[in-house]
A = this chain, B = another copy of it.
């Protein structure tokens, strides 16, 4: 199995966590987003979107981090990334999508580069990113609530957690004040696990 990704890409880190939680091993094919390598013709032939991650597995090329995580969960059910009931799955997916659809896309590198170009200065991108992270994580913290366990949805990590942790790293990088004690507690619980810590950008950068 070959994972096309980039060490600092949040969406790539999500998939690395899912693979590690499932106890799977993989080969990394790096594509530097800073150097625009995701637009190389060879990679575009694999994924016409020119985005990482893409996972070569079972003779398929899978794209989109959430779709990849659901595929891994269906084909390698243990440990589960989603709750066993439809209501629980809807809640887990809604939490994941609150970040993956409403927050992360509007603060990723592609958008920041456009904002900087429109504004004519580099700070505009960072201010935008910080504000969208603050708003998005305020809402996410409300959605998660106090909860009963150490993770977003109970006592085991799952889809919502593997989306949250990379986003918190982005928020920290953008200079957010990290005003979400419950989310930071979830992050600490996650990063105490090898599946999260060993796949972090700082851990895989040299790899």
Q: Which residues of A approach B to under 8 Å, CB–CB? A: 48-51, 58, 60, 62-64, 66-68, 70-71, 74-75, 86-87, 89-91, 93-94, 97-98, 100-102, 104-106, 111, 114-115, 118-119, 124, 128, 139, 142-143
Contacts and interface: CB of A to CB of B under 8 A. Distances in A.
Contacts of A63: 94, 98, 143
Contact of A49 (B48, B106, B114, B143): B143
A71 B51 contact: no
Give the secondary structure class of A's interface: helix
A93 B105 contact: no
Contact of A67 (B97, B104, B114): B97
A43 B128 CA distance: 26
15 contacts: A49-B142, A60-B90, A62-B90, A63-B98, A64-B94, A64-B97, A66-B93, A70-B93, A74-B89, A75-B86, A101-B105, A115-B115, A115-B118, A118-B119, A119-B119
Copies of this subunit: 2
B93 A64 contact: yes
A67 B86 contact: no
Nearest to A86: B74
Contact of A87 (B58, B86, B114): B58
A64 B163 CA distance: 15
Nearest to A136: B49
Nearest to A68: B90
Contacts of A50: 139
Contacts of A49: 98, 102, 139, 142-143
Contacts of A98: 49, 63-64
A152 B202 CA distance: 39
B111 A106 contact: yes
Given A139-B50, A143-B49, A66 B97 contact: yes
